[in-house]
A and B are shown apart, each in its own frame.
Chain A
């Protein structure tokens, strides 16, 4: 209550700095990220700040010339003025990058590396496969399936010619 009354005495315009000073630390440092930023966006054609903030001598003289008739400016000068205010033109903004090549390359590399890990794992980590994968066992398994007429209509046994003991042509 008292503080607000005191601030009112100081005057409305002085409030922002006086509040900081009152804390005894001085005016706060203005961080760069708090200031308006420049960015090229199609939906925001005129950004808050010019791209080039610190003008060289010839850029400054060009800016002076801009105050006069624009017909007097050459094409190069007009482009230079554009480049002072803006970083990329709309055409450059919409340009694609070659990033997709890196992405695809990276993905394939990682997949390949994973393949190596899987191969190593198969050799050094896993034990042998069960004996039921032996070719002899598999043959006996198949014979058993044919004997019990497994899927006789459209499946396995349907393709087996039991009279001639061979696969149907």
Chain B
């Protein structure tokens, strides 16, 4: 009995599918708004530019960093690099360490992200003389 029902429903389903034109839309055309979706590269570039401002002030650094941490993502190495250089321009070592702590915290349970990030940032860290929280023993209680 069930098999008959299934056969009936499957033919019915097939008829339905055939009558409707298939919507094989590309990824970008979502139906929620007519606006353009920003790509990852555009997002990264925007933030790198933000932190790269030569005369960035402390408020802008804080605002940028707090906003960035508010997003549901771990910032790319280039964004963090740009932010660390902004800290250097502002002579703020404490914020640099704080930023590293914050991105580690953003990674949450994904423990492999932070070591990768540090590996990517190592040239900058050595150049600017920034120690990681681990090197300072600040990741322990």
* A interface residues (Cβ-Cβ under 8 A, vs B): 42-48, 66-67, 69-73, 75, 78-79, 81-82, 84-86, 89-92, 95
Contacts and interface: CB of A to CB of B under 8 A. Distances in A.
A138 to B, nearest CB: 57
A85 B141 contact: no
B97 A70 contact: no
Given A46-B62, A70-B128, 18 more contacts: A42-B102, A45-B65, A46-B61, A46-B65, A46-B99, A66-B91, A66-B92, A70-B88, A75-B137, A78-B93, A85-B95, A89-B138, A90-B105, A90-B139, A91-B133, A91-B138, A91-B140, A95-B141
Size range of the interface on B? 20 to 34
Closest 7 CB pairs of A and B: A71-B129, A70-B129, A85-B94, A45-B102, A46-B62, A90-B101, A82-B94
B92 to A, nearest CB: 8
Contact of B99 (A45, A72, A92): A45
Nearest to A82: B94
A34 B137 CA distance: 36
Nearest to B69: A45
B91 A67 contact: yes
Contacts of A89: 101, 133, 138-139
B94 A86 contact: yes
A95 B138 CA distance: 13
Nearest to A67: B91
Interface of B: 61-62, 65-66, 69-70, 88, 91-95, 97-99, 101-102, 104-105, 128-131, 133, 135-141
Contacts of A43: 66, 69-70
A28 to B, nearest CB: 24
A70 B140 CA distance: 23
B139 A91 contact: yes
A84 to B, nearest CB: 7
Contacts of B92: 66, 85
A81 B140 CA distance: 18
A67 B102 CA distance: 23
Contacts of A84: 94
Contacts of A85: 92, 94-95, 98
A45 B101 contact: yes
Contacts of B95: 46, 85
A94 to B, nearest CB: 8
A49 B140 CA distance: 25
A42 B105 contact: yes
A45 B66 contact: yes
Contacts of B135: 75
A66 B130 CA distance: 11
A134 B61 CA distance: 82
